[in-house]
Amino acid sequence: MDYNTMCPKYEVTIDIIGKKWTGLIIRVLLGGAKRFKDIKKQIPEMSDRMLTERMKELETVGIVVRHVYPETPVRIEYELTEKGQSLKTVISSIQEWSEQWIGDCQVK
In a domain, 107, yes or no: no
From 3, 19, 94, 11, select the one nearest 53 (Cα to Cα). Answer: 19
Please name the amino acid found at residue 71.
E
Ordered per-residue pLDDT tens for the chain, 108 residues: 677 777 888 889 999 999 999 999 999 999 999 999 999 999 999 999 999 999 999 999 999 999 999 999 999 999 999 999 999 999 999 999 988 888 776 655
In a domain, 3, yes or no: no
pTM for the predicted model, two decimal places: 0.88
In a domain, 56, yes or no: yes
Extract the runs of DSSP E, i.e. beta strands, from 26-74: 34-35, 64-69
In a domain, 47, yes or no: yes
Q: Which domain holds residue 19?
A: 8-101
| Tally of structural domains, the chain | 1
- CATH number of the CATH domain containing 96: 1.10.10.10
